[in-house]
Amino acid sequence: MQKFYKIITYGCQMNVHESEKLAGILTRLDYMPTEDEALADVIVFNTCCIRENAEQHALGNLGALKYLKAKKPSLIIALGGCMIQQDNVAKEVKKSYPFVDILFGTHNLEDFGVLLKKRLETGKKVVEIVGDKPKICENVVPFRTSYPNAWVNIMQGCNNFCTYCIVPYVRGREKSRSMQAIYSEVQKLVLLGYKEITLLGQNVNSYGKDLNDGTNFAKLIDFLQEVRGEFRLRFMTNHPKDLTEELVIAIANNKNCCHAIHLPVQAGSDEILKKMNRRYTSKDYLDKVAIIKKHLPDCAITTDIMVGFPGETEQDFLDTLNLVKKVGFASAFTFVYSPRKGTIAAEMPNQIDEAVKKDRIMRLVDLCNEQTRQFSATYLNKEITILCEDYDKKRDLYLGRDQYGRMGYFKSQENLIGEFVTIKVNSATGISLYGDIVEE
Ligand code: SAH
Ligand code: SF4
Ligand code: F3S
């Protein structure tokens, strides 16, 4: 009888891609994907713990499955990912969610098939969580669900220990894949017809340092010029402290690289940046922006910003708003600081009141939305090339992004998913552009 699986993913792009790897493992074991939980034989939660709400979301959805398990005792529920890698979480989950069959850490992903078999054979709960040792999964073929886009992991882990962040604790130290392995994966994907490749790492700018052979991210970007075929190259995330002019030049020289850089600033106050252990000042950040603009004048710079870090004064917050005004981001992800157990910032004095955090995030979001609108408005009446990636059934519109990351919508009788399409923009609302196909 056909067996089915469902994977529920939380967190960053890297987690989404790791879910594709889990799907690859399940596919090799002859499972088929389903959206219907009642039909599933295996349900996997691939969790995130970057902020408290990410954790609560996962636990809430997990709790709701208790009734399914009671109705269908053969259902296997597995819980994996970053959340499980935190100290004591596995213990708490074992106690409060006894119906979970498999608990696996983010470093045990490659072994998921073995863990599943073990559970099926023994009927006993399986717990497998190794500590601080990221593994590069070279032996798993992902089951990709995002055509024409494909994610390629270039490194695991993070060495930065920003004081608010849980990632280095749950993902371990940086470990880079070889340039050759990355090149081969990218080339294969392009030959298979993928049109946009996004290189993933917590801090792609420090790619290669651990290989100790002079490899660095700029060299990887140069090396990937050898890949044959028509495709776009993206990457994320870039830590500002490690962004070099050599890299920006490599991006400018690589015809496939999108002129878009995600450069999380986090805050505009030097005092706060120092407490965050970001290892740059607001001036350093602006200098990096100037380097980008020098070589890539049209580059869209996007960012992550946080409000409510411990000790953040009104003046610190105004410094953040000022920096945002100076840079003019194409778009920004904005977050309210959320204390994470085990991090340095969670123990800092002067944690900020929820009402103050709420007020600041609203003011920040207003400013960022305004910048996003302004950026979109510059598109009016222009022709842009987008990579068609999906079809919105409700609105009967196809959609895709331009190289700067802006989403464009258009009408077409033909299915154009996977094609580069030129549209003339006739309206821009917030983050979305609408236009008509330009006939060649
Ligand atoms: N490695 C990436 C970011 C990964 S997390 C980088 O360094 O840029 C994505 C974003 O989540 C971060 O940029 C930060 O803005 C936010 N974030 C991380 N920890 C957080 C916390 N404790 N509370 C709120 N936001 C957080
Ligand atoms: Fe977290 Fe900082 Fe590492 Fe990004 S660079 S994952 S914010 S510790
Ligand atoms: Fe979350 Fe882990 Fe990514 S904590 S943001 S899933 S690295």
Mean pLDDT of 197-216: 96
Mean pLDDT score across all residues of the chain? 96
Q: Which atom of ligand 2 is nearest to the CA of 277?
A: 2
Position 137 scores a pLDDT of 80
CA 286 to ligand 2 centroid distance, Å? 20
Looking at domain 3-128, which of 3.30.70.260, 1.10.4160.10, 3.40.50.12160, 3.30.70.920 is its CATH number?
A: 3.40.50.12160
Q: Is residue 172 helix, strand or coil?
A: coil
Model pLDDT, residue 75:
97
Q: Residue 230 burial by CB count (10 A; 0-12/13-18/19+): exposed, middle or buried?
A: exposed
Q: What's residue 244's pLDDT?
A: 96
Report the top-level CATH class of 146-258. Answer: alpha beta
Q: Residue 301 and residue 388: Cα distance in Å, rounded?
A: 22
Ligand 3 centroid from CA 78, angstroms: 17
pLDDT for res 139: 85
Q: For 129-178, what is each residue's pLDDT tens digit? A: 987 677 778 889 999 999 999 999 999 999 999 999 999 999 999 999 99
* pLDDT value of residue 135: 75
Q: pLDDT over 70 for what percent of the chain?
A: 100
The residue whose C-alpha atom lies closest to atom 10 belonging to ligand 1 is 304
- Of ligand 3's listed atoms, the one at least distance from the Cα of 166 is 4
Tens of pLDDT, residues 169-204: 999 999 999 999 999 999 999 999 999 999 999 999
Taking residues 395-412, what's their average pLDDT?
A: 97
Distance (Å, whole) CA 129 – CA 141: 22
Q: How far, in Å, CA of 72 to CA of 440, rounded?
A: 56
Per-residue pLDDT band for 90 (boundaries 50, 70, 90) equals confident
Residue 205 Cβ contacting ligand 2 at under 6 Å: no
For the chain, the domains span 3-128, 146-258, 260-377, 383-437
Torsion of CA 294, 215, 19, 189, to 10 degrees: 80
Distance (Å) of CA 287 to CA 257, 282, 341: 22, 9, 34
- The three-point CA angle 349-351-357 to 5° equals 160
Q: Is the CB of 167 under 6 A from ligand 2?
A: yes
Per-residue pLDDT at 401 exceeds 70: yes
Domains 3-128 and 260-377 share a fold: no
The CATH number that domain 383-437 falls under is 2.40.50.140
Per-residue pLDDT, 327: 97
Q: How much distance in Å is there from the Cα of 56 to the middle of ligand 3? A: 14
Find out whether the beta carbon of 11 lies less than 6 Å from any atom of ligand 3.
yes
Predicted confidence at residue 431, as pLDDT, reads: 86
Asked whether 17 lines ligand 3 (CB < 6 A), one says: no
With 0-12 / 13-18 / 19 or more C-beta atoms within 10 angstroms meaning exposed / middle / buried, residue 48 is buried
| 165 alpha carbon – ligand 2 mean position (Å) | 6
What CATH architecture applies to the domain 260-377? 2-Layer Sandwich (3.30)
Ligand 1 site residues (CB inside 6 A) read 50-51, 164-165, 167, 202-203, 237, 239, 264, 266, 304, 306, 335, 337-338, 340
Structure tokens at 115: 């863990």
Where residue 88 falls among pLDDT bands split at 50, 70, 90?
Answer: confident
pLDDT class for 439, splitting at 50, 70, 90? confident
Classify residue 39 by its DSSP letter.
Answer: T
Pairing of strands 175-176, 76-81: unpaired
